[in-house]
Amino acid sequence: MEPTTAVAARLASAAVAPLIRRLFAPQPEGARLVDRPIRISGLVSFKGEQQTLGEKDLHRLATELVDRAAAAYGPHEAPSAETRRELADALALALHSLGDLDMDDVQAVRLGPEDFAARLARPRHLSAAAEPYYDPLLHAASLHVLNFFSRRSSFVPRALTEQTRTLERLVALTDLLLERVPSRLAEDARFEERYVRHIAAKHCDITIYGLDLDQAREWHLDAAYVSLAATDATSMPLPADRALSGRDRVLLRGGAGSGKTTLVQWLAVTTARQKYEEFGDHLHHLVGRIPFVLPLRRVVRDGAPPTPDEFLRAVRSSVAGAEPPGWTDRVLSAGRALVLVDGMDEIPQRDRETTRRWLRELMTDFPGNLWLVTARPSAVAEDWLAAEGFTELTLSTMSHDDVTDFVRRWHTAAAAPPDLADALLTAVRTTTALGHLAVNPLMCGMLCALHRERNGFLPHSRKELYEAGLRMLLERRDLERGVQDELRLSSETQILLLQKLAHWMIRNDTAEMERADAVAQLSRALEYMPHVQAPAERVLAHLLERSGLLREPAHDRLDFVHRTFQDYLGAKALVEEGDFPLLLANADRDQWEDVVRMAVALGRPAERERILRGLVADIKRDALSDISRPTLAWALEFRRALLALACLEHATEVAPATRDHILGLTGRLLPPRDAETARIFMALGGPLVLGLLPGPEGLTDDAAWATVIAAADDGTEVGLSVIARFRGHPALKVRRQLVWSWKRFDCRRYAEEVVARVDPTDLYFPCWDPEHVEALRAMGGRERIQLRGRLRPSDMTEYLDTDRITHLWLARWTYRNSRDWLPAFPRLRTVVLEDAEERSAAAAELPPHITLLADPDQE
């Protein structure tokens, strides 16, 4: 078989060029204007208004290319007639996909023939006879297509313009970098190169639950990271990895396993790499920054957070001590730092006020830096850092698309069959109980692992999920890996020992413990386990090496791989030892919320009754429903009542009188009155809250709006059924929330049941990807469109009847060169651009009959 380059060479340009030329429409007048790049999809001759080549013509053209390639091979190596027909079908598919490419000719040539060919559609299956011929054939066709592009009259000036723009962008980034990086000692510069390499390597992997059999347990961040959404006080969602764009200080709230720490890792690694070509407009704030990752559970010792000179030593960094004297101070003084303070909820309550003062002093002494603080939703009070200028954002539960993306990435990393991912996604979407479990990366990862290990069988509650996960990690991991260990501990023994450690950590209000304390706890437990013939040190080493649940993040300090496992095992120990007074005495504390829930799930009927009754004891129904008096006592009662409501979800058996009493207390709190209350309700109550949500009859507009937010936060079929009740609501505020919630559900299902039935008057319909635009087309389009994500106005011409659109609301990264897309919108009269710089650029291009606004409410 001839190599690819030889095949391409034998397909002489003189013979092939006329065929390739037929794939593209003739250049119109004015094609030399270099500021008007046209995408390849707009150049092809078999789509759009300039269509001159039909489907049959395209196939005949592909057949002719195959025949000429076959002739180039010679009579002995040429494919058979049947193989040539298969190759022609495959090549026609690839050529047709030229019409779907989202790039212009200059970008295509820059890719080169191999990468360009990889962007074209490929048949799912090729016969063994056709396989050796196809890649050389596609490479040759791609080479000639790129050669055709490079000879177009507009190519050279366009390429020069693109080069100029790239240089301008590099100059701007360099200026920004020089502004943020003042003249430094050579010693500082050398250390910084070493430090950022260290940070990028240290934080580039995350734990993937379930990859414990034949693969490593670490998952590369680039393959694993799924950008979740975060919302601010106005409930406007934005990608969480852009949380610091336009904000210097952010407090990010999120539940256990929601992805807070993974986001911190992504920000640290992205900043450390400083790959400017990947930054885009929304990440310019990271240019020239030096990341400091400060997990509070490790750096706060005896209530004392570290001083800047102790940052590296506090996290046990391997480069600690190698930095030049005063380096951290110089970085902070220059305003070049990205300070990532992770886990406010993982330090004792008594230390949080000290930590806040520490943050305040640092920000006062070192202005101009970026600060991100993470915490569980109820770890600190609302506006806890507002006086320090922090914006509060909340990580949302995973949307339908997030779950799909995560599950597919997980199965790719696990080298699992794609049909296994499809089966799991079907189960999650059609089974309400599983849909409620797949709400964050931790739960999704465990579901993926268990689904694979159990050949499709999945648990239907959090308790069952944790139990199955523990069995998988403790029983099957070493067995299926063929790992031999002289110390054999049953899963029951390991669980009991781990419970002792978790119980001690919960009692002592800590997320880590010293090795000496762990050995002491295990020694006491082993006195009652004569079947374990090993010292406590040996048992601890076994749990660290083999269980997959315990780790040593720093020398002589231990913790659980995730706080959720600590809470579950600690709750199990509390129930078995009858520590109910301790449980109820601490139920008001955020660190104990999951412990209380799991205790209810694990307890026997009488024990559940004791916990539930204890949670709502002395709560007066009338006082609780009076939200006009938000005193501290009221807030504590409010949280206890909601926690009791959340616990009912985990109680398989509970006395009707107890259940009715709890529902009566919380029922008078509904509906939620604002977005924050709605999220608190959903975080604590989950599915039971959905069943209690009233309306839309008898609700104020604000109450209806907050109720839709609560149902959307659920993101399941049950949440959709609640939202559907509000689709006829007349208030613009409610209708906006209804269409904004679209991305949290299955696109077509939500479009049919909600979006298509919402009154479109004065309402912008948001679109995040082509699937949303296609769904709007199926319902006849809309006059007002809001483009989010990476959609551009030119994309609308492919999916919608643009004659109907009168208003466009564009996210800042979608507006580029209006003259390219403006003619496709003959009725357009209003453009909304949120970014001031974008509006300034647009004002010079848009014709006078189009009104330019910063906010749709300005109309």
pLDDT at 208: 55
pLDDT at 167: 56
Q: What is the β-pairing status of strands 807-810 and 784-787? A: parallel
CB-CB neighbours of 683 under 10 Å: 21
- Reported as a single tens digit per residue, the pLDDT across 663-716 is 888 777 778 888 877 877 776 666 657 767 888 988 999 999 999 998 988 777
- Reported as a single tens digit per residue, the pLDDT across 393-440 is 888 778 777 888 888 888 887 778 888 888 888 888 766 667 766 777
Closest CA to 828 of 792, 799, 793, 788: 793
Q: What is the mean pLDDT of residues 571-575?
A: 95
Q: Which residues lie across from 251 on neighbouring strands?
A: 373, 392
Task: Name the pTM for this structure.
Answer: 0.54
Least confident of 25-39, 132-146, 560-574: 25-39
pLDDT at 223: 65
pLDDT at 784: 93
Residue 758, pLDDT above cutoff 90 = yes
Least confident of 186-195, 281-290, 728-737, 825-834: 281-290
Query: Is residue 231 very low, low, confident or very high in pLDDT (cuts 50, 70, 90)?
Result: confident
- Reported as a single tens digit per residue, the pLDDT across 142-195 is 888 887 777 665 666 655 556 555 555 655 655 555 555 544 566 788 898 899
Q: Distance between CA atoms of 673 and 705, rounded to whole angstroms?
A: 8
Rounded to a whole number of angstroms, the distance between the first and last alpha carbons of the chain is: 67
Least confident of 196-200, 445-449, 750-754: 445-449
Q: What is the mean pLDDT of residues 113-128?
A: 83
Query: Is residue 544 very low, low, confident or very high in pLDDT (cuts 50, 70, 90)?
Result: confident
pLDDT at 165: 59
Type of residue numbered 764: Y
b/e per residue 248-279 (b: at least 16 CB within 10 A) = bbbbbbbbbbbbbbbbbbbbbbbbbbbebeeb
Helix (H) or strand (E) holding 521: helix 515-526
Cα angle value 570/574/577 (rounded, 5°): 135
pLDDT at 390: 92
Helix (H) or strand (E) holding 338: strand 337-342
Q: What is the mean pLDDT of residues 66-77?
A: 74
Query: Is residue 48 very low, low, confident or very high in pLDDT (cuts 50, 70, 90)?
Result: low
pLDDT at 258: 79
pLDDT at 572: 94
Which ranges in 151-185 belong to alpha helices (H)? Answer: 155-180
Which tokens sit at 493? 């023994």
Better-predicted residue by pLDDT, 617 or 380: 617
How far CA 524 is from CA of 25, 42, 497, 529, 749, in Å, comes to: 82, 75, 10, 10, 57
- Reported as a single tens digit per residue, the pLDDT across 634-658 is 767 777 888 888 888 888 888 999 9
pLDDT at 682: 77
Q: What percent of the chain has pLDDT over 70?
A: 79
What is the DSSP secondary-structure string of 685-730?
A: HTHHHHHH---STT--HHHHHHHHHHHHHH-SHHHHHHHHTTTT--
Residue 804, pLDDT above cutoff 70 = yes
Dihedral sign for Cα atoms in the order 446, 452, 458, 464:
negative
Residue 209, pLDDT above cutoff 70 = no
Q: Distance between CA atoms of 528 and 578, rounded to whole angstroms?
A: 18
pLDDT at 282: 66
Better-predicted residue by pLDDT, 106 or 277: 106
Q: Which residues lie across from 557 on neighbouring strands?
A: 514, 554
How far CA 551 is from CA of 218, 320, 561, 604, in Å, comes to: 13, 22, 6, 32
pLDDT at 74: 65
What is the DSSP secondary-structure string of 636-648?
A: HHHHHHHHHHHHH
Least confident of 307-316, 458-467, 532-541: 458-467
Q: How many helices (H) and strands (E) does the chain have?
A: 42, 17
Type of residue numbered 185: L
Q: What is the β-pairing status of strands 557-560 and 513-514? A: antiparallel
Please state, rounded to an integer, the average pLDDT across all residues of the chain: 80
pLDDT at 29: 41
- Reported as a single tens digit per residue, the pLDDT across 328-354 is 999 999 898 999 999 888 788 788 889
Residue 51, pLDDT above cutoff 70 = no
Q: Distance between CA atoms of 753 and 779, rounded to whole angstroms?
A: 12
Query: Is residue 607 very low, low, confident or very high in pLDDT (cuts 50, 70, 90)?
Result: very high
Helix-helix angle 462-471:563-576, to 10 degrees = 100
Name the most confidently modeled range: 64-68, 229-233, 294-298: 294-298
- Reported as a single tens digit per residue, the pLDDT across 105-116 is 777 787 888 888
Residue 306, pLDDT above cutoff 60 = yes
Residue 54, pLDDT above cutoff 60 = yes
pLDDT at 754: 94
pLDDT at 490: 85
